[in-house]
């Protein structure tokens, strides 16, 4: 079993599984054992790396260049960019809040990357509040001053602290106490602090008043759910970055039906690509419905278009949409093609001329003939009637 075969067969499924578990989009690469040794030897010695950067905590894909700006996040994006350009000088702290999977972590990583690109010697640390808490507990458990001194040096001897999901320190008195002093130490030294949460400070229950007031010293920026245009742009950006090629109808289907957050949007696209790859089937709206049925429920308000009908008819007969739009006259294609014509006419208000153009620049008499033929076949054959009804149910499940 060759490396190319393994890479082609398993890269996408592993990538999707990792993304679903971690919420992060990793590149997967397969190498041979001898290559691993080569890589190991070619790594620069640890002494040449800037140990203060904590780069291992940053996702290389989370940069300003890959962040899609829309009406839901333009203020938070502008504030993040301003902080990245002049850390410690304005908007300190920067407090970003919003629901799960809306891009808070992406913005925080973007700030860190921007600062490190401009000044690689900057001491930048990104951490989740859970990691902060766990490290503090471990230092306290050790029961000696050395452990606490190391902990405080790590978090206070830096230029930029980015702490994600601050809401998880709620109810943890020791953590809040330690973070209060860490905050004061950094802020007093004009070091930049960036914080994220699922709520604004005033809505975080049981958060100590002194911490709440400090979080409100700087700038508070919110991120809301992306609108349709932004969702389309997010999917197009991911398509571009990952080298996918997907028709507009499929992108529109996902953007129309997944509205909650970016993580779900990108996860749906990953799942669709994996499904298509493993099933060795062309990506159509019909395939998207099948692959994402556990994510997207049938939408009773879904717009029924000729393009949607063509996709679903092609999927039903294990053909490509291009086959239905082409000019091949073999019966395996002509019959499904005429069903598509019939359903386009019956289930939409699209003019015959437009249907003809969509079906591969066929004239309206061809469409009329196809519709008449299906009507005749339905009158004679129960199997044809059942086939048409099954496809209609797929097009409009409600």
> What's the pLDDT tens digit per position in 191-240?
999 999 988 998 887 778 888 889 999 999 999 988 888 999 999 998 88
Residue of 34 and 63 predicted with greater confidence: 63
CA geometry: angle 182, 73, 24, nearest 5 deg? 70
- Rounded Cα gap, residues 132 and 121, in angstroms: 23
| Token pair belonging to 383 | 């199997």
CATH classification code of 53-222: 3.40.50.300
Mean pLDDT value of segment 244-259 = 87
| DSSP symbols for 198-242 | SS-GGGSTT--HHHHHHHTSSEEEEE----HHHHHHHHHHHHHHH
Torsion, Cα 262 263 268 269, to 10 degrees, reads: 70
Instruction: Give pLDDT, residue 295.
Output: 82
Instruction: Give pLDDT, residue 96.
Output: 95
| Token pair belonging to 116 | 């490190």
- Rounded Cα gap, residues 60 and 241, in angstroms: 13
Instruction: Give pLDDT, residue 256.
Output: 86
With residue 219 as reference, give the H or E element that holds it. Answer: strand 219-223
User: 82, 90 in Cβ contact below 8 A?
Assistant: yes
Instruction: Give pLDDT, residue 302.
Output: 65
Torsion, Cα 202 208 214 220, to 10 degrees, reads: -30
- Rounded Cα gap, residues 173 and 154, in angstroms: 20
In CATH terms, 228-296 corresponds, of 3.30.450.40, 3.40.50.300, 1.10.8.60, 1.10.10.10, to 1.10.8.60
User: 95, 195 in Cβ contact below 8 A?
Assistant: yes
Q: Is 196 helix (H, G, I), strand (E, B) or coil?
A: strand
Residue of 375 and 260 predicted with greater confidence: 375
| DSSP summary character for residue 46 | G
Q: How far is CA 143 from the centre of its chain?
A: 43
Q: So where are the chain's domains?
A: 1-42, 53-222, 228-296, 306-395
Q: List all residues 6 or more positions away from 77 whose beta carbon is below 8 Å from its beta carbon.
A: 64, 67, 69, 107
The reported pTM is 0.64
> What's the pLDDT tens digit per position in 130-188?
998 898 988 888 877 888 899 999 999 999 999 999 988 877 888 888 889 999 999 99
47 — pLDDT class (breaks 50, 70, 90): very low
Lowest mean pLDDT among 205-209, 340-344, 360-364: 205-209
Mean pLDDT value of segment 254-281 = 89
Instruction: Give pLDDT, residue 282.
Output: 87
- Rounded Cα gap, residues 71 and 228, in angstroms: 10
- Rounded Cα gap, residues 195 and 128, in angstroms: 10
User: 158, 124 in Cβ contact below 8 A?
Assistant: yes
Q: For 306-395, which CATH superfamily applies? A: DnaA protein, C-terminal DNA-binding domain (1.10.1750.10)
Q: Is 326 helix (H, G, I), strand (E, B) or coil?
A: coil
Q: List all residues 6 or more positions away from 218 whose beta carbon is below 8 Å from its beta carbon.
A: 91, 92, 93, 94, 95, 193
With residue 47 as reference, give the H or E element that holds it. Answer: none
| DSSP symbols for 57-102 | GS-TT-SGGGPPP-TTTHHHHHHHHHHHHSTTTSSSSEEEEESTTS
């Amino acid at each position: 079993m060759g490396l190319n075969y393994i890479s082609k067969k398993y890269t996408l499924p592993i990538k999707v599984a990792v993304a679903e578990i971690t919420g992060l989009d990793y590149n997967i690469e397969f190498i041979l054992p001898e290559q691993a040794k080569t890589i190991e030897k070619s790594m620069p010695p640890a002494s040449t790396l800037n140990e203060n950067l904590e780069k291992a905590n940053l996702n290389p894909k989370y940069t300003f260049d890959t962040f899609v700006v829309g009406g839901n996040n333009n203020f938070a994006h502008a504030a993040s960019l301003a902080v990245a350009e002049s850390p410690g000088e304005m908007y300190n702290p920067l407090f970003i809040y919003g629901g799960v999977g809306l891009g808070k972590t992406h913005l925080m990583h973007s700030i860190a990357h921007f600062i490190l690109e401009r000044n690689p010697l900057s001491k930048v640390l990104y951490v989740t509040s859970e990691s902060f808490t766990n490290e503090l507990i471990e230092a306290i458990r050790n029961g000696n001053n050395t452990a606490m001194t190391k902990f405080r040096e790590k978090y206070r001897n830096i230029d930029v602290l980015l702490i994600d999901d601050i809401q998880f320190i709620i109810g943890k008195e020791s953590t809040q106490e330690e973070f209060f002093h860490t905050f004061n130490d950094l802020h007093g030294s004009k070091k930049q602090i960036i914080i994220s949460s699922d709520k604004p400070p005033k809505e975080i229950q049981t958060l100590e008043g002194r911490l709440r007031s400090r979080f409100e010293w700087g700038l508070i920026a919110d991120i809301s759910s992306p609108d349709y245009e932004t969702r389309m742009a997010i999917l197009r950006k991911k398509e571009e970055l990952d080298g996918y090629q997907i028709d507009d109808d499929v992108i529109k289907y996902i953007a129309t039906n997944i509205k909650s957050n970016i993580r779900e949007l990108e996860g749906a696209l990953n799942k669709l690509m994996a499904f298509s790859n493993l099933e060795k089937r062309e990506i159509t709206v019909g395939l998207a419905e099948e692959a994402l049925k556990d994510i997207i429920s049938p939408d009773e308000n879904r717009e029924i278009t000729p393009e949607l009908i063509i996709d679903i008819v092609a999927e039903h007969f294990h053909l490509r949409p291009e086959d239905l739009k082409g000019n091949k006259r073999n019966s395996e294609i002509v019959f499904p093609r005429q069903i598509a014509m019939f359903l386009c006419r019956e289930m939409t208000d699209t003019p015959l001329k437009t249907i003809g153009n969509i079906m591969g620049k066929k004239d309206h008499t061809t469409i009329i003939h196809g519709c008449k033929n299906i009507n005749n076949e339905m009158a004679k054959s129960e199997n044809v009637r059942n086939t048409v009804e099954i496809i209609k149910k797929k097009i409009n499940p409600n």
